[in-house]
Amino acid sequence: MRKHKNTILFVISWGLFIGLLLFSIIRLQQDSKIVNYTGIVRGGTQRLVKLELSGQPNDPLIESLDQILEELHTGNGPHHISKSHDLAFTEKLQDLSAMWKDLKRDIEAVRSTGGALERAALLQKSEAYFTLANETVFAAEQSSEYKLTFSLLLTALLTFVVFYGLMHLNKRQNAKLNRLLYTDPLTGIANQSAFADRALYLLRDNPSISYALVYFDINNFKYVNDAYGYETGDALLQAIAQYFDRHLSKSELCARINADHFALLTFNGEERDISLTKRIRVCIDQAVSDGIELNIADSLSYSFGIYQIVDHAEPVNSMMDKANIALKQAKNHEEMRTVSYNDALFAKLQRERQIEARMQSALQNAEFLVYLQPKVEISTNTMIGAESLVRWVSPEFGFLPPDEFIPLFEKNGFIAQLDFYVLDRVCRKMRQVIDDRLSDSFSISINLSRVTLYQDDFFERFTRIVERYKMPPSRIELEVTESAFIGNQEGILSVLERLKGMGFLIAMDDFGSGYSSLNLLKLLPIDVLKIDKQFLRESSKGDRSYRIIKCVIEMAKALDAQVVCEGVETKEQVDFLAQINCDIGQGYYFARPMAIADFEVAYNLH
């Protein structure tokens, strides 16, 4: 609406300016006519007198001069002369008209008698008339010049007013535009663009100050919005922003980048990263506690990405990218909420980019190899199954262990393709030997990422591969971790129940490695509980750990689930598992993961 009003004001101002300019031009033309025709009267009268004195009467000229004088008085006539309202000119014109009447009587006298006396009187009268006519022309010129000067001054004044007004409006519009471009609308502090611009000047103007650029955000901010409402979430962001805006020095800077992400350009001094983030965390907590209307009962935690600025001349966007990269790394590792950007991190990211660039072609070229690690029944020391694992043998990178690419693939979603690839390879190879050489109890464990389980067409793709190779469902054990149920528990449970109903075995993998939910055990239709290797390591530390792992095994048996303990590496651990009635062991004590061909040789399956 305001923009529309400004446009109307702009059009009106320019209309007035152009109107005044046109009016001035027209008046100038009219005044020029008055001057010109007054001059014609002067010159025409002198010519008339000369003709009369030489005996050449000219009545048409007299009529023409009469007409011009009448038009100068009234503004009406064929010459389109405007009437002048200038007092000095009007008075002179009246005197000139009166003298013109006298002059015409003298002309009549000359024509009647032709005497010397009349001729002298006419000549004398014409000279007086010429003088008065000059004064009248001068009065007309002065009037015209005055009007021209006034018009020019008025035009200049209006031009100044118009342009000053437009400049003022433009300045206001620019200020408003700058606020929109450089201010975060929710918090009122600087946005990303403003941060980049102002940081450039701060770093340039303070070359002796040691700075750090910190990116931080609120962990699980979505929970705040869901639990307390979006108004509370917005109020939380505003409280944090306003606190830093009030308490930072003029040589520091805070900006909201997006969502719950903030950027700080702050003094670093001799602080280490942990001290720096501790100071910032205290400020954030103070901002939250100051927001008395927030009423957030839950404890908030934060992630930090830090870039220690060494070269103040480095492009600010490059610094921001590095701090943001460090923050993303902090978000990917729950146990490490503060990450500082350094050369090692850069090399890691470069390595990840190289891996991502090769992963698709590696799948097409069958560079991913399926390995099997036996699972052994502890009571009989018999191999009764195996877990399928994946290794990457790359012509470019060499042998890659899973820890180097699996987390990356889970992050970028490629793990779904890899999981189905492994399932296909296992079904194809094991179908060849499963009937003749393996016992009915033998099963192959397949690890499924939460990313894979979340695929819309997971069930169809999974069953299609199994049916293609006519693999008995009882021979396939699906291993899922607790994290697979975060976010879509009902959907995952529904899929697993369908697979369970078809005869597939369901295993909960890495039990005890995270925040295990007993309620999840109650809901999940598990056949196998795989105890994380950390439990086994802790069992040697005392009676308490021993009793815990024993209780876990008893609980699993109460749920009619087999228990597999991972990470078995020593004879003492095997004896311990036998003592507490653990069903199955898996680990280096029995065998390391091996290629399928080696597995076939080792267990006489070829």
Q: Which positions are catalytic? A: 566
Dihedral angle over CA of 445, 451, 452, 458, nearest 10? 140
- Cα–Cα nearest to 480, from 520, 439, 448, 522: 448
Q: Output b/e per residue, 249-272; b: 16+ Cβ within 10 A.
A: eeebbbbbbeebbbbbbbbbeeee
DSSP states along 133-189: HHHHHHHHHHHHHHHHHHHHHHHHHHHHHHHHHHHHHHHHHHHHHHHHHHB-TTTSS
Q: Are the beta carbons of 359 and 409 closer than 8 angstroms?
A: yes
**What φ, ψ does residue 72 adopt, rounded to 5°?**
-65, -30
Q: Are the beta carbons of 140 and 89 closer than 8 angstroms?
A: yes
Between strands 584-586 and 382-394, the pairing is unpaired
Q: What are all long-range contacts of 145-151, with beta carbons under 8 Å and residues at least 24 apart?
A: 146/86, 147/27, 147/28, 147/31, 148/24, 148/28, 148/31, 151/20, 151/23, 151/24, 151/27, 151/28
**What φ, ψ does residue 107 adopt, rounded to 5°?**
-65, -40
Give me the sign of the Cα torsion angle 196, 198, 200, 203.
negative
**What φ, ψ does residue 20 adopt, rounded to 5°?**
-65, -40
DSSP 7: H
Q: Residue 155 is encoded by which pair of tokens?
A: 């035009």
Residues in a beta bridge with 384: none
Q: Residue 355 is encoded by which pair of tokens?
A: 């891996």
Q: Are the beta carbons of 144 and 28 closer than 8 angstroms?
A: yes
